[in-house]
Amino acid sequence: MSDTLEHRVGEVTLTVAGPDGRPLAERDVTVAQQRHAFAFGNIGFDFVDLVGGADVAALDRLGALWLRLFNTATLPFYWGGYEPRRGSPDAERLARTARWFAERGVTVKGHPLVWHTVQPEWLLGLDLDEVERLQRARIRDVVGGFAGLIDLWDAINEAVIMPVFDNGDNAITPLARARGRIHMVRMAFEEARAANPSATLVLNDFDLSSAYECLIEGVLEAGVRIDAIGLQTHMHQGYRGEEAMWHTLDRFARYGLPLHMTETTLVSGHLMPPEIVDLNDYQIPEWPTTPEGEARQADDITRHYRSLVAHPAVQSINYWGITDEGAWLGAPAGLVRKDGSPKPAYEALDALINGEWWLKPTPMRTTADGTLTVSGFHGEYSLTADGHTLPFTITPTPRTIPVTLAV
């Protein structure tokens, strides 16, 4: 495992000129980071009800906490939740929520287009051809309908287990069993690609064993173009540690595709017993957050994010939950307690994303030639001088760019 972050950090040289085009020599300026290029994400599921809802104060409170840390929001497009009655999709609420995020500079992601869980009741009992036709139509409708607002999708979720899934009746498992996993993956990617050619499409799975490697190799060999490999890590049973994570990352990095850590969970209460195989099978009435658990969660999240950001193949980390209120499985996996107060894990992430990995507003001075060299995490920055503020970016390639203050 590497400790260097050189793959995350870039350098840019600005040649700063005044409104008359002449270099601003030896001038005091302020440089500040505005946004990470790296996708620090979280789910935005809570906001589907909050945005446009009656409780504006609640939206403001949770929104402020959410927006302080994250730049990428995953919204729920589970078929059964999105279209519980055939032909009546929840498109308007989702679009309103997506716009709320987009207007605040947040990249919006949709999750997932094809999955065997959270399925609509009305799909059961239809024949396979009809199920496939409806599934294809749904992908086109959703991806095409949201193009421009949402250009990042989990195209298919958990294809490894899809044909042999036995934890609930659904119409997708029989289709996957009859047609094969690669057929399902191709269907998801080809329909989504056709509906939005500029979308980034992710293959997403929780199974990080050799099975997923074999699936990926088959999919690539079959000529299906995938844009990123999604790796879920719901660690309700405990943090897996840097070494194990890097071993996993290395195994999937060898396909030369970006790795998206799509679903990241660490709990701040007792750990789920190790013998549970399907996390959904562990349902308890109360799963409280505890001081010890919160300390562990904060420590784990720091170690985990450090090790992921240190791996060159990782392009995004999406945490799975902002508040414990209504969290998946009732687990205290949020970064914010039910009462709305931030946990230590929230502060720990803040210290990384907005502290150690962030360039705060910093006074700098141009040279006699009017140049200024800035280094920092890849992302968006601003230069302020003489009351003017101008944007620039830091990318992996060192560059010299002219910045001219407006008249």
**Which residues contact a copy of itself (rule: CB under 8 A)?**
160-161, 163-164, 177, 180-182, 207, 209-215, 217-222, 251, 254
Closest to a copy of itself by CB, 144 vs 218, is 218
Least CB distance to a copy of itself at residue 160 (A)? 5
Type of residue numbered 181 = R
- 11 versus 213: smaller Cβ distance to a copy of itself: 213
φ and ψ at 251, to 5 degrees? -65, -40
Joined tokens for residue 362: 């910093």
Reading phi first (left if > 0) and then psi (alpha if -120 to 50, else beta), residue 374 is in beta
Question: Could you tell me the smallest distance in angstroms from the CB atom of residue 101 to a copy of itself?
Answer: 35
Residues found in the chain: 407
Is residue 132 a contact partner of residue 190, using CB atoms and an 8 Å limit?
Answer: no
Choice between 120 and 163, CB closer to a copy of itself: 163
Q: Pick between residue 218 and residue 330 the one whose CB is nearest to a copy of itself.
A: 218
CB of 264 to a copy of itself, least distance (A): 23
Tokens, residue 236:
């309700």
Only one residue has tokens 């994250």, namely 70
- Hey, what are 239's tokens? 């943090």
> Which residue, 254 or 399, has its beta carbon nearer to a copy of itself?
254
Q: How far apart are CA 1 and CA 311, in angstroms?
A: 8
Nearer to a copy of itself, 213 or 386 (CB): 213
Q: Which CB sits closer to a copy of itself, 219 or 336? A: 219
Distance in Å, CB of 361 to a copy of itself, minimum: 47
Cα(195)–Cα(192) distance, rounded to whole angstroms?
5
Residue 74 buriedness (CB in 10 A; 0-12 / 13-18 / 19+): buried
Beta strands in 256-404 (DSSP E): 259-266, 314-319, 362-365, 371-377, 379-385, 388-394, 399-404
Neighbours of 53 (CB within 10 A): 12
- Nearer to a copy of itself among residue 198 and residue 210 (C-beta): 210
Residue 218 Cβ vs a copy of itself, minimum distance, rounded to whole Å: 2
Q: How far is the CB of 315 from a copy of itself (least distance, A)?
A: 22
The CB-of-78 to a copy of itself minimum distance in angstroms stands at 23
Q: Are 67 and 111 in contact (CB under 8 A)?
A: no
Q: Is 56 helix (H, G, I), strand (E, B) or coil?
A: helix
Do 299 and 312 touch, CB atoms closer than 8 A?
Answer: no
Q: How far is the CB of 190 from a copy of itself (least distance, A)?
A: 14
CB 334 within 8 A of CB 325: yes
